[in-house]
Structure 1
Amino acid sequence: MNLKIGEAWKKMIDRIEGWVDQLIINLPNIIIAIMVFIMAIILSKYISKLTLKLLGKSKLQPSMRQVISRLVSVFVILLGLFLILGILDLSKTLNTILTGAGVAGLAVGLALQGALANTYSGIVLSYIKHLKFGDWIQTNNYSGEIVDIDLRSVTIKEIDNNLVYIPNKLVLENPIKNFSSTAQSRVILECGVGYSSDLEFVRELVIKTIVENFEAVETTNEVIFLYTGFGDSSINFQTRFWINSTSGLEVLKAKTNAIIAIKKAFDANDINIPFPIRTLDFPKPIEITAE
């Protein structure tokens, strides 16, 4: 029993001495590897800042610039780790890591198809010239101001100040209506007047009211007034004019102000905006008999 314990103890001492000898032999390589690792971290920070500075001249969204600079930083650190494995003569370990990374990458790629599609779509959206922060867009039955574009989703702020996160893939694959592609937005207002109204006077009054209440409308020629048809209780019309804003909220405010101004003008000139009326026509007089 004592002999076996002595042999085990001797083997353990021999193993420890071998490790110490190996450590002493590889000490220069270990010091070099540590220095390479420190240099890789410092270099990754410098290259990340440089990448961010270079991307500042591009048309990428700020969030995408941050993501790309971080990916570059991670790539530099990984490159440093591979160099360290080579310095420490761990080529077999390196081959094992690369093989495992390939298999793991295939498995992750299959499992994260949706996430990868959103990532690719986010990169593509960042390069679209007419889609940027602050634009008012409509897509996938949502409309609002773009407040962020990252590798997962496009974030828009709706009129009610709620945030909607739309996956990049859906935004890229579906139509996008950008209200901010021009410096102005068109306000479209529909209304109706009674059949007894002077239609020419109504047209002149509405156009004059719009010109007087909106600075962006300088002349009467900039207001479009069209009668659209005979309704059940009114003759319907539509008026269109431009305002100096691309915000959907400002369009609604302008429409509200136009409704108020037109209603005041109609009231001042005894022009009736009729509500639906139903007339009942009886072919014969109704006889009421007392019992």
Structure 2
Amino acid sequence: MQEDIKSTTGILIDKLEGWWVLLVKNLPNIGVALLVLIISYFLSRLVFKTTLKLIDGRVKQKAVAKLISRVVAVLVVLFGLFLALSVMNLGESISGLLTGAGISGIVIGLALQGTLSNTISGVVLSFRKNIRLGNWVETTGYAGEVIDIALNYLVLKEADNNIVVIPNKTILENPIKNYSLTTRMRVMVECGVGYESDLEKVESLTKKAIADSFEQINGAENVEFYYTEYGGSSINFLCRFWIDAENSLEKLKAKSKAIIKIKQAFDKENINIPFPIRTLQFDDQTLKVSKAEEELVEA
């Protein structure tokens, strides 16, 4: 029994001595590896701050800017870790780490496919120049002002003050209309006048009413006017003109103002804007049949 204990103790002491010798032998490598890790840590912090300053002007969303800077900083730390393992001659450990990281990346990517897709889309949206905070956009049936572009979603504030949250992936995969990319919009107003109206006078009145109502229109000649069809109860026309506007709300206000001014001008000159009229015509035969049916009912 005592001999077994001594044998076991001897094996343990030999192992400890071997580890101690190995530790002393590799002290320079361990010191260099620790130095590399410390340098990579402080370097990653410097890279984080530098990257944040560089992209701050291009990316207005702080969350996205911090995410990009943090990813760059993590890459610096990982590079330092692999370099430290190489200094300690742990090539097998590096291969194991790379294999484990690859497998973990695949598993995490499959599990968080939707979230990662929206996150990547958020980063892409942050660098796109055709959509910015404060823009008035229309997409997927919603229209409003862009008030936030987060990592996973875009927030719109509609004209009725409702907030709409749309996943970033949906924004990238669907058409988007940005009213703020241009400073001018075309307003179109459709109307109709009675068949008895003087059409040349109607055109002149309409152009003058529009030109006098909007300062940015330099003269009635810049107002487009076209008769479009002979309607059921009116001769219809289309009036088009340009205004300085950056969102659909200003366009809607301009159209409303134009309708009011056209109606006032027509009322002043007694020009009729007819509503739909249905004329019923009865001939003598129809009246005779109706009268015979009445007599039959009375009998």
TM normalised by structure 2 equals: 0.76
Equivalent position SS for 1:180: helix
* Alpha carbons 2:61, 2:150 under 8 Å: kept: no
Q: Tell me how far apart the structure 2 counterparts of residues 251 and 30 of structure 1 sit (CA, whole Å).
A: 70
How far did residue 109 of structure 1 move?
Answer: 3.0
Q: Which has the higher helix share?
A: 2
Residue 282 and residue 140 in structure 1: after superposition, are their counterparts in 2 closer, same or farther (change >3 A)? same
Q: Which residue of 1 aligns with 2:226?
A: 226
1:157 corresponding residue in structure 2: 157
Aligned mates of 1:125, 1:37 — CA distance in 2? 35
Aligned residue-pair number: 289
Q: Are positions 1:134 and 2:128 aligned together?
A: no
Contact 2:227 2:235 in 1 (8 A): yes
Please say if residues 203 and 225 of structure 2, whose CA atoms lie closer than 8 Å, have aligned partners that are also in contact. yes
Residues in 1 aligned to 2:89 and 2:169: alpha-carbon distance in whole angstroms: 44
Residue identity opposite 2:254 in structure 1: A
Contact 1:159 1:248 in 2 (8 A): no
Q: 1:67 to 1:271 in 2, by over 3 A?
A: farther
Q: Are residues 1:188 and 2:174 paired?
A: no
Q: How does 1:244-263 map to 2 (within 5 A)?
A: 244-263=244-263
Give CA-to-partner distance per residue, 1:183-213, whole Å, 9 cap, x none. 2111111122222222211111111111111
**Cα distance in 1, alignment partners of residues 118 and 260 from structure 2:** 45
1: CA distance, partners of 2:31 / 2:263: 84
Q: Helix, strand or coil for the counterpart of 2:188?
A: strand
Q: CA deviation at 1:52?
A: 2.6
Distance 1:160 1:35, change over 3 A: farther
Structure 1 residue 217 displacement after superposition = 0.9
Measured at CA, do residues 160 and 85 of structure 1 come closer, stay the same or move farther in structure 2, by a change above 3 Å?
farther
Worse overlay, 137-146 or 97-106: 137-146
61-70 or 197-206, which deviates more: 61-70
Aligned to 2:270: 270
| Aligned equivalent of 1:174 | 174
**Unaligned 5+ residue runs, structure 1?**
none
Aligned ranges 1:1-291 → 2 under 5 Å: 37=37, 39-56=39-56, 59-60=58-59, 62=61, 64-83=64-83, 85=85, 92-284=92-284, 285=287, 287=291
Distance 2:272 2:46 in 1: 72
Residue segments in structure 2 that go unaligned for 5+ positions in a row: none
Instruction: Return the offset for 1:138.
Output: 2.8
Partner amino acid, structure 2, of 1:273: I
Q: TM-score, normalised by structure 1?
A: 0.77
Q: How far does residue 248 in structure 1 lie from its aligned partner after superposition?
A: 0.9
C-alpha displacement of 1:33: 6.3
> How far did 1:21 drift?
6.2
**1:27, 1:163 → 2: CA distance?**
61
